Amino acid sequence: MAIFASGAGSNAQRLIDHFKGSSDIKIALIVCNKPGAGVLTIAEKENIPAQIIEKEKFFRGNAYVDELKQHNVDFIVLAGFLWKVPVALIQAFPQSIINIHPALLPNYGGKGMYGRFVHEAVITAKEKESGISIHYVDELYDHGQLIFQARCAIDETDTADSLAQKIHALEHEHYPIIVEKVVRELQNRR
Ligand SMILES: Nc1nc2c(c(=O)[nH]1)N[C@@H](CN(C=O)c1ccc(C(=O)N[C@@H](CCC(=O)O)C(=O)O)cc1)CN2
Ligand SMILES: NCC(=O)N[C@@H]1O[C@H](COP(=O)([O-])[O-])[C@@H](O)[C@H]1O
């Protein structure tokens, strides 16, 4: 599989740790659109090849499909990737790209809803709970078929930062397990 990420890479690290002992599921490539991102330091530390992508080629070229195929990638996991995946990539990997969103979709999703913007919106709305959503990726932001959701309570002392910590804990607990479940279901269908 390939992990696409734009930021610190804490979810990428949990995925790497989870599959380290696997005999048949490998993280073959880390794809990043932000030079200097923390996830690139993780890739180097873990000796995983990294591909830095550029807008022109990603959106108006081959979407790096050739590079992904050269690394034998057959499944893509988005983990804090902040660009919209183009149709060319979705068509090359049908039902094989998933994403984690730090809120309970369909609420608090769409353009502009990423990272702390999500948690600030949830806190401002005085929601009593939030959570994570894991879903297939289609051509729209946060619109694909839901795979899994987990929830956490929000109390009156919570801030965007404390909520982010609760959400990260849910992500780190569940994403690796759900990714493995989806990949194995895909393997069994092939
Ligand atoms: N085709 C799809 N691509 C992506 C999806 C998806 O569901 N379908 N999910 C996102 C991840 N995401 C939420 O989970 C998300 C990421 C980023 C944005 C956003 O508004 N991005 C900004 C650009 C930010 C930047 O370049 O720093 C924007 O588009 O203006 C919304 C949702 C990953 N891709
Ligand atoms: N809408 C997309 C989005 O907001 N994704 C979020 O970016 C963070 C990446 O953290 P990480 O770089 O530490 O894994 C995660 O919380 C993930 O849910």
Query: CB atoms < 10 A from the CB of 143, how many?
Result: 14
Residue 101 confidence class, pLDDT cut points 50, 70, 90: very high
| Domains annotated on the chain, with CATH | 2-104+133-151+171-185 (3.40.50.170)
Catalytic residues: 101
* pLDDT of amino acid 190: 80
Is 158 near ligand 2, meaning CB less than 6 Å away? no
Intra-chain end-to-end CA distance of the chain, in Å? 16
ipTM metric: 0.98
Angle at 106 between CA 162 and CA 182, to 5 degrees: 90
How far is the centre of ligand 2, averaged over its atoms, from the C-alpha of 17 (Å)? Answer: 17
pLDDT at 60: 93
- DSSP 8-state secondary structure symbol assigned to residue 83: S
pLDDT tens, 21-48?
899 999 999 999 999 999 999 999 999 9
CA of residue 21 to ligand 1 center, whole Å: 31
Cα–ligand 1 centroid distance for 114 (angstroms): 7
Residue 110 near ligand 2, beta carbon < 6 Å = no
DSSP notation for 122-148: HHHTT-SEEEEEEEE--SSTT-SPEEE
Ligand nearest to the CA of 115: 2
